[in-house]
Amino acid sequence: MIDAALPVTALKGVGPRLAERLQRLGIHHVHDLLFHPPLRYQDRTRVVPIGGLRPGDEAVVQGRVELSDLQRGRRAMWLVRISDGSGALTLRFFHFSAAMRATLARGATVRCFGEVRRGAAALEMVHPEFRLVDPEAPVPVEAALTPIYPTTEGLSQQSLRNLTEQALALCSDGTIPDWLPTPLLAPLGLPPLAEALRFVHRPPPEVERARLQAGAYPAQQRLVFEELLAHHLSLRILRARAHRHQAPVLRGDGALRTALQQRLPFALTAAQQRVIAELASDLQRDHPMQRMVQGDVGCGKTVVAVHAVLQAVEAGYQAVVMAPTELLAEQHRDNFQLWLTPLGLEVAWLSGRVKGRRREAALAQLASGTARVAVGTHALFQDDVRFHALGLVIIDEQHRFGVHQRLALREKGCHQGRYPHQLIMTATPIPRSLAMTAYADLDLSVIDELPPGRTPVETVALPDSRRDEVVERVRAACGGGRQAYWVCTLIEESEALQCQAAEQTAALLAEQLPELRVALVHGRLKASEKAARMAAFKAGDCDLLVATTVIEVGVDVPNASLMIIENPERLGLAQLHQLRGRVGRGSRASVCLLMYHSPLSENARARLAVLRESNDGFEIARRDLELRGPGELLGTRQTGLQQLRIADLVRDRDWLPQVAQAADGLLRDHPASARALIRRWVPGEIYGDV
């Protein structure tokens, strides 16, 4: 069998120029071409009666030319009316030649393909493809649906079709092998590879287009399965490889942890204790821990992380805590300082904004080991950062880091052949089966319990036409000594526009609520300014904090018991749940007002209802899966996986248990096939030596 690495230049007609264009689409090998699925399909397999056309259809029609009319206005236009007995259709041309006009003369029979749109008088096609036909001996229609591929300049659909045709032939003759053994496929009811690819690239005329577009045919599912399997295998292999690495044994005498627990103003929940024990046992091994701790907002992940940090420090090693944003990192720094300073530990701080002498000082502390703990952003892993003895890396809010970044961090932390332990913390609740596949390189711990005494946040949805009432509620709450958040959302990607909108809202609210102290935080403020305003809010020197979604994670102000979220319909459920988690942190009953803009779509209404009905992140995630279009809960941004080409982790999640099972079987009985599958589907060097 020839391996998947057959280059595209092996195909007829592919020279250096075409190869270069294909490369722009990420197509280097013949198998890349086969796994470059069509975006959509055209149906040229039947001639449709004109009378049955609807605007928006793309169709083949055939009719007799009844009228050919040249209109000379400011812009010349040529209109041709054709009819097939069931109805009439106008063909409209802005560019045309005398030769074309001579061809489409009255009485000729023409076959056209194009998109139907509503014209001034009748339905029309603008610049359709057309050819004359002999009504007595009509040319045959296409035998399969016509694939339309994602393409690039200088690469025609025709040429992609021609190349995929050749590639399909290589697949049928076994040159592109099917790596999934029949005993594995048969019970799943999935067809062999060659058949599946032929179907996806050239669907037969009888397919239902809606089902096809939804990826629901077994042939499509076969590719979905193979792709999920390949990604899962790659993560499994990464994990196996990581387990072979050496790591420092972080046993520790428990002295610092005991001291911490004596100072804790609360008892740890059973879930916290269980996860702390899981971490403690991982850290004592001489292979690097690779564990993700998942827990809903407010479940108390920080104190769990502090335990792991102390275990590393007790054992004579350093620990770093890294967060994806400056604001979140600052919150961590403050929290860790709160716990660690009384134990006599200094916390070094490093972010992109720490520069000059302060940065040098922090670097010196880390290199000499006088700082046992460091908190910061990506800046912690710049080239010139050296550690004395790094034992543990904690990454918060994993979903913003992909598997590559995770690996890069691990490599950076490697010292004399030993790798630091990695702990990843996330508040994004991901159903277990999804997590097992998307993060198959990690072990999973779940803190599935909130500390006692929390009053659930009461959530109310109301239209923004009742804004005045909402302002009065803010007045009443803050007048009574509470604090409130007002969160501004904006669809615009631009951070500048978001900040501008928040500024306007803050100004308006300050005017409407003159007796309150209103402050504003957004992503464009200087770090020191932002920190000062947050500190003032935390200290109670500010009543109402207007903010963009920068406060999504990490902010902890127990006296804040009211949150207004403007236009919640623009945000995902998981994000709304995170935002709402900023209130309900004290013992007071808290309220979250979702101030939406009418009219709400059916789906938006249902999503806001989920939030009103539940405070449980895992339940919300489950409902989110049911309500949302595929891919939103686990956008690629949020998974450990790279871009998927055909599969959709959410839509196709029912396969995941079988994927895991198939992976076991392949790794055990067909390791070479497992490697070949990874090479086929998961590009990248890191998997090269699997």
Shortest distance in whole angstroms from residue 553 CB to ligand ADP: 8
Length of the chain, please? 690
Task: Using the minimum distance from each CB to ligand ADP, give the nearer residue, 299 or 374.
Answer: 299
Nearer to ligand ADP, 145 or 303 (CB): 303
Q: Which is nearer to ligand ADP, 94 or 266 (CB)?
A: 266
CB of residue 560 to ligand ADP, shortest distance in Å: 12
Give the nearest distance from C-beta 481 to ligand ADP in angstroms: 19
Instruction: Indicate the helix (H) or strand (E) that contains 319.
Output: strand 318-322
Q: Who's near 150: CB < 8 A, 6+ residues apart?
A: 25, 36, 39
For the bound state, the minimum distance from the C-beta of residue 467 to ligand ADP, rounded and expressed in Å, comes to 30
- Let me know how many helices (H) and strands (E) the chain has, helices first: 23, 21
Using CB under 6 A, pick the residue from 191, 192, 431, 451 that binds ligand ADP: 451
Reduce the DSSP state of residue 514 to 3 states and report it: coil
d(CA 136, CA 149): 34
* Number of residues located near ligand ADP, criterion CB under 6 A: 16
* Minimum distance of ligand ADP from residue 270's CB (angstroms): 10
* Least separation in angstroms between CB 598 and ligand ADP: 33
C-alpha 614, offset from chain centre: 24
**Rounded CA gap, 414 and 645, in Å?**
33
Q: Are strands 88-93 and 443-447 parallel, antiparallel or unpaired?
A: unpaired
Residues 572-591 contacting ligand ADP, CB under 6 A: 585
User: Which residue number has the CB closest to ligand ADP?
Assistant: 300
Q: How far apart are CA 617 and CA 301, in angstroms?
A: 14
- Tell the smallest beta-carbon distance from residue 288 to ligand ADP (Å): 24
Confirm if 410 and 420 have CB atoms less than 8 A apart: yes
Residue 385, amino acid: V
Indicate the SS3 state at residue 437. Answer: helix
As measured in angstroms, the least distance from the Cβ of 575 to ligand ADP is: 14
- Of 425 and 650, which has the nearer Cβ to ligand ADP? 425
Based on the shown chain and the rule CB under 6 A, indicate whether residue 427 belongs to the binding site for ligand ADP: yes
To ligand ADP, the closest distance from the beta carbon of 587 in angstroms equals 10
Chain residues 254-313 in contact with ligand ADP, contact rule CB under 6 A:
266, 268-269, 272, 295, 297-303
Instruction: Report the residue number, 195 or 556, with the smaller CB distance to ligand ADP.
Output: 556
Q: Among residues 59, 138, 104, which one has the least CA distance to residue 87?
A: 59
Nearer to ligand ADP, 336 or 419 (CB): 336
Are the beta carbons of 544 and 486 closer than 8 angstroms? yes
Cβ closest to ligand ADP, residue 68 vs residue 272: 272
| 546-565 positions binding ligand ADP, by CB under 6 A | 556
Task: Kindly report each contact of residues 122-125 with a partner whose C-beta sits within 8 Å and lies 24 or more positions away, as own/partner.
Answer: 122/81, 122/88, 122/89, 122/90, 123/50, 123/53, 123/55, 123/87, 123/89, 123/90, 124/89, 124/90, 124/91, 124/92, 125/89, 125/90, 125/91, 125/92
> Which of 401, 439, 434 has the alpha carbon at shortest distance from 648?
434
596, two tokens: 């939406």
Residue window 210-249: x/- pattern of binding to ligand ADP, with contact defined by CB under 6 A: ----------------------------------------
Closest CA to 565 of 619, 484, 503: 484
Task: Pick between residue 233 and residue 447 the one whose CB is nearest to ligand ADP.
Answer: 447
Do 239 and 441 touch, CB atoms closer than 8 A?
yes
Give the residue with the Cβ less far from ligand ADP, 298 or 324. Answer: 298
> Nearest 10 degrees: CA dihedral of 627, 628, 630, 635?
-140
Chain residues 144-203 in contact with ligand ADP, contact rule CB under 6 A: none
Nearer to ligand ADP, 43 or 396 (CB): 396
Q: How far is the CB of 254 from ligand ADP (least distance, A)?
A: 19
Residue closer to ligand ADP by CB (options 30, 534) is 534
CA distance 399 to 635: 9
State which residue, 299 or 647, has the beta carbon closest to ligand ADP.
Answer: 299
Q: How far is the CB of 452 from ligand ADP (least distance, A)?
A: 7
* Radius of gyration of the chain, Cα coordinates, nearest whole angstrom: 31
Q: Please state whether the peptide bond connecting residue 599 to the residue before it is cis, i.e. omega within 30 degrees of 0.
A: yes
Q: Compute the least distance from the CB of residue 263 to ligand ADP, in Å.
A: 12
Residues that bind ligand ADP (CB under 6 A): 266, 268-269, 272, 295, 297-303, 427, 451, 556, 585
